[in-house]
Structure 1
């Protein structure tokens, strides 16, 4: 059965702080490990009052140190913000500490606004354009050091940390295919080119030392609760976050609002319908059917589940229901195979 994984932005909710958000992240990771999720990924965002995972490699170490078997990684590191050697050293250190459990997903977006990107990098000249070369340089640091090599990642050299390409357009699909790397598409917030990217990645994939066959991960929002009505209510926190971000007013994750969509303009509703079309919202049975349909439509090799839910207990329950839905789908698949 297709593995499920977790994407966590360590949400800072209204009335709380980053310390509590990070404690919630570790608690969710421990639950996800018990429920059978394969990976736990954290994302790099900057100058976002509702996201506590800006220092992504630090949070990965915190989560990996508090768990024992689940893979932990970046979904992703925004490489133009960093020198490749710095990331090689950070993730080489993580791999040295937590052998066989670290993933490195790479993106070429800034993960923030242009002003903040300038504060991070000091210059924006050519950074995004050099992304393919930076990926190759970074991967080189994870290979065994060669005689006479003057710059090495220590730790890092010889550790072969798995590298993923992340993207929300056809560019990332082409690069992942050309380099023979696993590809994660951000369909949970930018689904417009999803089907094109899937076809392009699979049709152009070239086997590599890391990967013999294409491996496609798709992001999906899941809001699961005991009833369809409660699940739709929980989703209103994410809807508020999207609307506020597009209006230039990002902030902490807000509590759910009954009938939130009815308060929106037609333009805001259309924007939400487009951005969040890859979402499954509802009761356990609704979620099971929705996930089954999404897998059948896309043929994904792995799902990266994200659930931006205000109440931590409700977020845990959503991921538990999702894990149970996966088990139900696996049983159906096993029964079909046995016939």
Structure 2
């Protein structure tokens, strides 16, 4: 059996406000909680038009306060931007406020450009082993061992699941070595998924955190009552990604009929490669796409990303996705 979860970059719609954006995320979290989704994760990005989740832990607290059972997490915290102690304390605070509902997903990319990294007061000169060192430091804080005589208060001794996020064999190897669950970013970086998941499963070392490998894989899903409608609502996501590819990041634009047919062939090819794992269409189409992806990855959990302009259409898409494979969900 498989679980379904959600990744939300908190897309800021063109013509909307941040207050409306955050209200939309609350409504989405409440809706998918009722649909049976297991987790609702937020992604840390900085200096990115169209993404409102830069203050990840603050938004996590807001969403947790407005839901009752769905797990709220980071997908992920970009660890180069933060001191491990601060992350342990912040997530310790969240776990204290919302016990049994907080996940800590960690990534090794900064999620920002050089100027933004400098504005975050972080260094570009981190050593190659800094990420694993910082992950272990966080684990030590959470497990109550501390680091150099320093304890995370709150944080020490709390049950906060730590995930490694990645899109290559590097993160897969680290997750396997530490015996942690692994989330692969196949919704935008699909190229190395087979190698990474194979490496993780073959190299996994059981730990106090996890007895056997646990894989979550990302996929884009756009579901609607008709194929044409699904293609239409997916065009906002595709336009936004194309803006990143062309160096023109934007607010999430309204859907545009025939967008993919009008763009240059090389850009269309790039989008098709990046968004290769996308289930789109009617519930029957989406079911087929999700089952094919599950067959490929043998994932224990799927994390769905979908930047859809109309909030109601976005909620409906997630609802249809869950309904389409309800018989496969635990």
Q: Are positions 1:130 and 2:137 aligned together? A: no
Aligned to 1:337: none
Using the alignment, how far apart are the partners of 2:136 and 2:103 within structure 1? 16
Q: Which runs of 4+ in 1 moved over 3 A?
A: 328-331
SS of the aligned residue for 2:325 comes to: helix
Aligned to 1:301: 300
Aligned to 1:286: 285
Aligned to 1:314: 313
SS of the aligned residue for 1:171 comes to: helix
Aligned to 1:270: 269
SS of the aligned residue for 1:121 comes to: coil
Asked if 1 retains the 8 angstrom alpha-carbon contact of 2:100 and 2:159, the reply is: no
Using the alignment, how far apart are the partners of 1:114 and 1:47 within structure 2? 11
Quote how far apart the aligned CAs of 1:143 are: 1.1
TM-score by length of 2: 0.97
Asked if 1 retains the 8 angstrom alpha-carbon contact of 2:2 and 2:328, the reply is: no
Q: Are positions 1:84 and 2:54 aligned together? A: no
**Cα distance, 1:152–1:164 mapped onto 2, change above 3 Å:** same
Q: Structure 2: where are the runs of 5+ without partners? A: none
SS of the aligned residue for 2:217 comes to: strand
Using the alignment, how far apart are the partners of 1:204 and 1:215 within structure 2? 12
Using the alignment, how far apart are the partners of 1:329 and 1:159 within structure 2? 32
Matched ranges for 1:42-121 at <5 A: 42-121=42-121
Q: Structure 1: where are the runs of 5+ without partners? A: 332-339
Using the alignment, how far apart are the partners of 1:96 and 1:300 within structure 2? 30
Aligned to 1:179: 178
Deviation digits for residues 100-157 of structure 1, max 9, x if unmatched?
10000000001111211121134211166400000000111001257x9731111001
Aligned to 1:231: 230
Aligned length, in residue pairs: 330
Using the alignment, how far apart are the partners of 2:248 and 2:18 within structure 1? 19
Asked if 2 retains the 8 angstrom alpha-carbon contact of 1:288 and 1:329, the reply is: no
Quote how far apart the aligned CAs of 1:292 are: 1.1
TM-score by length of 1: 0.95
Aligned to 2:240: 241
Asked if 1 retains the 8 angstrom alpha-carbon contact of 2:81 and 2:122, the reply is: no
Using the alignment, how far apart are the partners of 1:330 and 1:302 within structure 2? 9
Deviation digits for residues 198-222 of structure 1, max 9, x if unmatched?
1110000000110000000000000
